Structure 1
Amino acid sequence: MRYLFEEYAFDTARRELYRGTDAVAVSPQVFDLLDYLIRHRDRVVTKDNLIGAIWQGRVVSDAALTTRLNAVRSAIGDSGEAQRLIRTLPRKGFRFVGEVREEREVAGADDAPERAPAIPDRPSIAVLPFANMSGDPEQEYFADGMVDEITTALSRFKGLFVIARNSSFTFKGKAVDIKDVGRRLGVRYVLEGEVRKAAGRVRITGRLINAATGTHIWADRFERDMTDIFALQDEFTLAVVSAIRPKLVQAEIALASRRRPEDLTAYDLFLRALQQVGPSTREGLAQGLRLIHRALELYPRFAAAAALAGACHAENVVRNYTTEPQFEREEAVRLMRLALSLDDGDPDTLASAALISALLVGDCETEIEMSDRAVKLNPNSYRAWHCRGWVLKIAGQPEEAIRSLERAMRMSPLDPETFAALTGMGFALLELRRFDEAIIAAKKAQRLNPCYPGPYRCLASAFAHLGRDAEAREAAARMLELDPAFTISAWSARSQISKTADLMIEGFRKAGLSE
């Protein structure tokens, strides 16, 4: 069934909304609300009707319901003030009052107009066939193989909607308009590129483009010796995916930040929260938690949001940002378990849950198993390798921890979380008595985030072990500015980190920090 009103077409079979020929992106919950209101337009529907139909009777606040209805209105060019199409009747309910025509589509009709698919409510990308610039038709297999590898690697990120190879390859060998490609495939981003092979060298050029505007988000060139063809494809795939994945997230955060508060979806709120919690400041974590809880109100089954909320509560405990450590600890573990119950097959959710558990529970065998499963599910995930590094450090395996953290940083050298990975590496190096290297890692972390206390702890301990007492006291003093209530016993009680940090604690004592 298609419902036509004003310039809009609402297709219930394809779950698509169009304004003229342009697809309107709507979240699944917004779609279901609009569907319910249109199908029951002959009567006033109550708040309880909507909650029963859309939220299956779960508790939903008035504010959350209002936010969702405003999102429905915005999608169809209406507003709470105008109420041109959806009217609120005080103390009664809501009614769709627009004039609607119904159109039933005949299956297999040859004259049905081609319509663009709706753009998903999450990052969506198509990888076009890379042009073979070698002048050698036999190199087509290498160019096509690169696209296959990149498409497969991107599809492992469950937060991405990736167009399958068969659809992307319909554009092979054609001069294309990127905006048209984005419209026809229903994606927000397009990756295109060229492969050139000559004199035993291969060069790949890639460009990530916003399909709606045609603007470049990222572009880079990679060149290597043509040795083992399959190893080379793996290397290029890792380089390209590691480069464009953060750019996609940054572009989505920028898009969410431009939207009006009343138009935000659960995913928009999640993106805004990611931006807030990244630096691990007290204020950022508090604001991030407020945004995530709003996201969970809108979409209670949002596993990634539950995992992020759990990680924020765990950070509050570890950083000593809370006056209620027991409550924060319990919330972190509760949300970790909720995230796993919703989606234990998402590598980033698994990785976050493993780290929360490692910090606050201390079941090493389970935590390592979850971390290993996360990197197996997506070997291209920076977060999976980063969390695995910390899990292994806490479990008392510093050598393996360093290898995981190095791999994470090699994959995403400009990642916003690099300061935390370097801190974990510093802790692991210190436990291996590689004090000079620990200092190098900690200084890099401190430069990236001067407000993060972890690097100063590492520096105070490492300097003290080397007998560089003045530098140890200076690092300890800087750490106390950031964490005034620090004592060795309180730090040891916060998390499981201290259980395998004997040398660090010994260094704290040498640096003159209080017991």
Structure 2
Amino acid sequence: MERRLTTILSIDVVGYSRLMERDESATLAALKSHRLELIDPFAASFGGKTIKLMGDGGLLEFESTVQAMRFAISVQNEMLSRNSDVPENERIVFRIGINIGDVIAEDGDIYGDGVNVAARIEGLAEPGGICIHRSVRDQVQDKLDLNFEDLGETEVKNIERPVRAFEVVLDDKAKALAISEPVAHTKSQISKWAPTLVGAVCICLVLAAAIWWRSRDVVPLTDQEELALAIPDEPSIVVLPFKNRSTVEEVGYMAEGFGTAITTQLSKFPQLFVIAGSTSITFADSLVKPREIGRELGVRYVLSGSAQSVGENISINATLIETESGHALWSEQYDVGVEEVFSAQADLVREIASTLKIVVEEEEVASLKKRQTDDPEAYELFLKAVAKSKLLNTVSRQEAIELLERAVVLDPDYLSAHIELSGRYLSLWRFGGSDDPKTALNKARRHAERALELDQSDYRVQHRLGQLHLFADHDHQLAYQAYQRAIRENSNDPEVLYDMGFLRSLMGEPSEAIEWNNKAKRVNPRYPGWYNFNAALSHFLIEDYQQALLLAKTGISTYPKSLPPRRILVATLAEMGRLEDAQIEADKLLEIRPDFRVSTHRNTPFLRSEDQDRYFGAMIAGGLPE
């Protein structure tokens, strides 16, 4: 725990609920665009860091009050331009509040009156405006040529004393202080913020509530994890998202799919260490240079690329960079039609393998060249479905399923589409969202069985079968065997590694589970917050309650409305004898899910009854209703 004086910036979306009700998908897409192209790079330019998301708002911290002010002015100025051609009822409009205050910093979060005042002042701002505390005005008035409107002493909710607030006049003077393009980091800035870049850059939809790729809530690395990011002995690489250099939406899907496929193919080489795509995608449109990426992720090589339409063809460019020197080892260009994309992927993977001195066997060459589908339309539907799935909202998930169903109608032998469909339906059955869970589970089985018929050696097929064996059949041994087969084929997929860890926890082997969870985190350094649930459960089972407590709190701080870390937090506090604290946390969980009952979670497939009884008994002792 640390106390410090800092500059706090609170930002939220005006009329967020109305926008979501009107068009959820369009609102989330717009927020994603603003985050990637505006909020993240501008915050980096002014030395800011994102602390957390709070539903429809966010909290950022700046060491320099002047830089916080320039960030706010630049964002609001740029939003005017971005909204100029958008119908008024569809516009994303921000309010911003800035305060200087004393805060308590703990576990990557900040608390205290300084934060509360920033949030209340933000509520005083006009839509598209900036409101600041008097202390901010005093700090910047001799350093920035700005006009302010005095709002006087104002009573605000939950703050005992009146607050003196000022509205920043966004006139020509203010515009002169704004930037329209982000400024690259200096080396000192990157070094300064290195411990928190993981959380700051990865936040997937700034100001949107708990969305983007299951994951996209990211936890800061602990000191132990930072030490684990030493460059491996084997060749190591991260494939950055391929950029769409055209205005054609379909090319964007193609670019994303191309980069993902390269990651998947490289991951299958046991001689390679490959960073997960779910981490690499957080560098989309990032200003971070390859040398810094190499340091943060612990890899020797970075592959970057782009795609653009050239007539009826697609031009794909790829560059392999050595991170230590920052020098490009080679660049390749492929001008191909849609039907030739798979061949280009195979050629590029072989070129990378050759450069990294990886011997590619003949059977591996044949596997690389194998086409996923002969139907270009089915391939396009698949790429669109994957993009929809990453948005992680109910509407997009259903749209993804519909696109995938159309793809397998066009090509009944489309392996990847069957695997993805099985996963989509399994998620509906496990996590809700289906009016008919039994049918969803049956469809998950049917598509997994079809995928098995098509290619039983594909690691993704074995992974999906393992999930079905564990969660649907409670057959731990078959699940273990399936996960083992998957890992033999691909030891770099973090989802398989994580699921193996979760299985070992449920089998009563928490120490082994911790090892698997750490492996998943290593190949996915910007891992999603829910990785901490299994880690917390493992430490709970070995009675390491302090570590379980820390991991549960970290999971909650990055995903406040997620129930699993809150469940384990209640259970852990109860086992520690802190029943009053456990009851407080139980009440918080029930605020999120009033109908929560421990009994509905007793189908969690623990192999040992004593583990199940201790875990669920602790939840009940902590105040959760049975």
Normalising by structure 1, what TM-score? 0.49
Larger radius of gyration: 1
When the two structures are superposed, what TM-score results if normalisation uses the length of structure 2? 0.41
With CA pairs under 8 Å and 6+ residues apart, which has the higher RCO, 1 or 2?
2
